[in-house]
Amino acid sequence: MTARVVIIGNGMAGARLAGELHAREGDRKVTVLGAEPHRAYNRILLSTLLAGRIDEPDVELTEAAGHGVDLRSGVRVTAVDRSAREVRTGDGERIGYDHLVLATGARAVVPPLPGLDPANLPERVVPFRTLDDCRRILAATDGARSALVLGGGLLGLEAARGLATRGLATTVVHPREHLMERQLDPTAGAVLAGTLAGFGVTVQLGVSATGVAADASGVRLDLADGRSLRADLLVLSCGVRPDTALAQAAGLTVRRGVVVDDRLRTSDRSISAIGDCAEHDGVLTGLVAPAWAQAQVLADVLTGTDPLARYRPRPVVTRLKAAGIDLASMGDASSGGPDEELTFADPTRGTYARLRIRDERLIGAILLGDNPAVGTVIQLFDRGQPVPSDRRALLLGRALGAVGATPAASPALMPDAATVCQCNTVSKGALVRSWRSGARTVDAVVAATRAGTGCGGCRDAVSGIVDWLSQAESVEVTR
């Protein structure tokens, strides 16, 4: 009997799960129901699209297609009938399932401010979450000279940098005392603010918004200190909230997200949840790497490829993807306890580094600006290896040798187990194996391994490894 798997959501988690299921053997029918009317797209690259560095086709994801996969875009699911094992769509259709997967993602938070109705936002006020949001922002920039961004977190800063790249005088308003307070310490936040100022982005910190007024002439943002800021456009980047409405209505256990176990099962064993809507061990992911890891585990469990597969979160590395800004944050870099701490700051050059070490292992780091050791630091954190004895070399990026060699220094010195692509957990060894199997270009290696298809931050490293392999082969042939 053909197993029926229904996936609600065709975002980065749902689309990846459909691809994982399609790639595995077995007799099953996979139905993907996506509320958005587009093909699946890479949400991480929307800020790059906003900056004008890529076009819409460049954000599209390769979707599972062919026998056994029924992909439906623009279909909204209105209810889940657990007793009948059916989902109901907005046009009244009932679709049966043997196993249902919720990949409903998260929605942009619209702050409860006078002048903002989440169901009817003014034309010049746009959240930044979806491809349609990005299109609306781009349309609003036509003829605009200035923009406000409410929210100085990761996505807000990416949006601000993109708007500034398009020539708009951009101001970020953030209620906290420094930018990206979840990932950075105050000093790093100050250095980042200085870097942004050099790109034409002004930052207003420690002040909350109290109201919004918008009309055809522009937008006014009222602040708690009595000031008002005016611009042609207001972008909202005030966080996201897991979309749990269907799960709650169906009676599933929901806290902040849909609660799942190590096998990604909800309180109903015939229903799973992955991605931004899922809460595992009390934690919401919000990043692509965990969502894709969950998709792989769930595909292994559902298809019987590995019935014992379990989701185990990996250490998370946060990268700011904005032109001219290189920022990596990982683990807990805040002060406290007997841990060893190393810091280096050069605000005039936009450089800051902070490392926290416990029991000879890296437990947290912030690297901003030109830090040659960033690849090494990420590898040490990801793999939990002992740090080099020369702490200054690790902090300042001088030659580290052996385990501390950076990918930029020489791919030959990288161990095969070194993770090159954090989003897809692709190691250097996997890249080398794909090369030896016949993938002889960067695009071919990317297609074979998926490296570089997430945030794209490892693309240069992948290219460097392919170049190194090409040169090594050339030397062997010459000899």
pLDDT at 360: 92
3-class DSSP state of 260: strand
Specify whether 350 is located in the same domain as 259.
Answer: no
H-helix segments, 170-329: 186-198, 245-249, 288-303
Q: Specify the CATH number for the domain of residue 51.
A: 3.50.50.60
CB 266 within 8 A of CB 260: yes
- Is 317 domain-assigned? no
Question: Can you say how many angstroms the Cα of residue 459 is from the centroid of all Cα atoms in its chain?
Answer: 15
Of the chain, the percentage scoring pLDDT greater than 90 comes to 67
Number of domains into which the chain is organized: 4
Specify whether 378 is located in the same domain as 436.
Answer: no
Q: Specify the CATH number for the domain of residue 456.
A: 1.10.10.1100
Specify whether 224 is located in the same domain as 336.
Answer: no
The CB density around residue 204, as the number of other CB atoms within 10 Å, is 18
Residue 65 has pLDDT above 80, yes or no: no
Q: How confident is the model at residue 375 (pLDDT cuts 50, 70, 90)?
A: confident
To which H or E segment does residue 236 belong? strand 234-236
- Is 479 domain-assigned? no
Residue 411 has pLDDT above 80, yes or no: no
- Is 29 domain-assigned? yes
- Is 315 domain-assigned? no
Specify whether 230 is located in the same domain as 252.
Answer: no
Classify residue 64 by its DSSP letter. Answer: P
The CB density around residue 114, as the number of other CB atoms within 10 Å, is 11
CB 251 within 8 A of CB 286: no
- Is 441 domain-assigned? yes
pLDDT at 402: 37
Of 23-37, 73-87, 416-430, give the lowest mean pLDDT range.
Answer: 416-430
Amino acid at 34: G
Closest CA to 390 of 382, 401, 379: 401
Specify whether 235 is located in the same domain as 176.
Answer: yes
Domain that includes residue 368, residue range? 326-396
The residue-averaged pLDDT of 19-43 equals: 93
pLDDT at 473: 61
State the sign of the Cα–Cα–Cα–Cα dihedral 93, 99, 103, 109: positive
Specify whether 333 is located in the same domain as 358.
Answer: yes
Distance CA 108, CA 106 (A): 7
Specify whether 229 is located in the same domain as 269.
Answer: no
Please report how the helices 154-165 and 186-198 are oriented relative to each other, as an axis angle in degrees rounded to 10: 10
Residue 478 has pLDDT above 70, yes or no: no
What tokens does 125 get?
Answer: 């006020």
Q: Specify the CATH number for the domain of residue 375.
A: 3.30.390.30
Residue 476 has pLDDT above 60, yes or no: no
Of 63-67, 109-113, 397-401, give the lowest mean pLDDT range.
Answer: 397-401
Classify residue 59 by its DSSP letter. Answer: G
Q: Looking at 223, 239, 255, which one is the last position of a domain?
A: 239
The residue-averaged pLDDT of 48-71 equals: 85
Q: Looking at 207, 239, 271, which one is the last position of a domain?
A: 239
Distance CA 100, CA 265 (A): 10
Q: How confident is the model at residue 418 (pLDDT cuts 50, 70, 90)?
A: confident
Distance CA 191, CA 206 (A): 16
Q: How confident is the model at residue 408 (pLDDT cuts 50, 70, 90)?
A: very low
The residue-averaged pLDDT of 316-339 equals: 82
- Is 320 domain-assigned? no
The residue-averaged pLDDT of 351-365 equals: 93
Q: How confident is the model at residue 304 (pLDDT cuts 50, 70, 90)?
A: very high
Q: Three-state secondary structure along 158-181?
A: HHHHHHHHCCCEEEEEECCCCCCC
Looking at per-residue pLDDT, the higher value among 398 and 262 belongs to: 262
Specify whether 120 is located in the same domain as 206.
Answer: yes
Specify whether 215 is located in the same domain as 118.
Answer: yes
- Is 157 domain-assigned? yes
Q: Looking at 303, 336, 351, which one is the last position of a domain?
A: 303
3-class DSSP state of 111: coil
CB 240 within 8 A of CB 151: no
CB 279 within 8 A of CB 258: yes
Rounded to the nearest integer, the mean pLDDT of the chain is 89
| Residue carrying the six token digits 């020539």 | 167
CB 241 within 8 A of CB 106: yes
Specify whether 66 is located in the same domain as 118.
Answer: no
Specify whether 171 is located in the same domain as 250.
Answer: no
Closest CA to 469 of 414, 394, 421: 414
Distance CA 106, CA 140 (A): 24
Those residues with Cβ within 8 angstroms of residue 317's Cβ, 6 or more apart along the chain or in another chain: 328, 329, 330, 378, 381, 382, 422
Q: Are strands 86-89 and 77-81 parallel, antiparallel or unpaired?
A: antiparallel
- Is 294 domain-assigned? yes
Distance CA 24, CA 220 (A): 53
| Radius of gyration (C-alpha) of the chain in whole angstroms | 23
H-helix segments, 35-185: 46-50, 131-141, 154-165
The CB density around residue 23, as the number of other CB atoms within 10 Å, is 11
Q: Are strands 325-331 and 317-322 parallel, antiparallel or unpaired?
A: antiparallel
Specify whether 16 is located in the same domain as 162.
Answer: no
